[in-house]
Amino acid sequence: MREVFELARLLEHVGANPADFNQQIAFGRVIKETRHQPALDWPRAPELWAWLLRHDVEEDVRHVMMAMVLSGKRTKEMRLLEWG
């Protein structure tokens, strides 16, 4: 929004950019709380594998989940995976 108003200001469609302000000053500092998901105890891995085999999901989802279990990759790494 800031960039749109800045372009309008440069083209002299508006006198000032109303979106030109410091967000930290206006809203205060945003503190992001990180919550980690608990890990599966490794003795329960066969139970998870059996659940993946019998659960009704799309095959590509099942395969990605199985690849994540076998490789230890995270969801972002799997989503951004390239065949090359």
Query: In this structure, are 79 and 41 located in the same domain?
Result: yes
Mean pLDDT of 60-65: 91
Query: In this structure, are 11 and 44 located in the same domain?
Result: no
Query: In this structure, are 23 and 41 located in the same domain?
Result: no
pTM exceeds 0.85 for this model: no
Query: In this structure, are 57 and 28 located in the same domain?
Result: no
What's the CA angle centered on 46, arms 67 and 34, to 5 degrees?
60
Q: What is the pLDDT of residue 50?
A: 95
Show Cβ contacts of residue 62 under 8 Å, excluding neighbours closer than 6 positions: 52, 53, 55
Tens digit of each residue's pLDDT (9 = 90 or more) over 2-52:
888 888 988 989 888 888 877 777 788 888 889 888 888 989 999 999 999
Query: In this structure, are 53 and 75 located in the same domain?
Result: yes
Look up the domain containing 21 and give its range. Answer: 1-34
Query: In this structure, are 40 and 30 located in the same domain?
Result: no
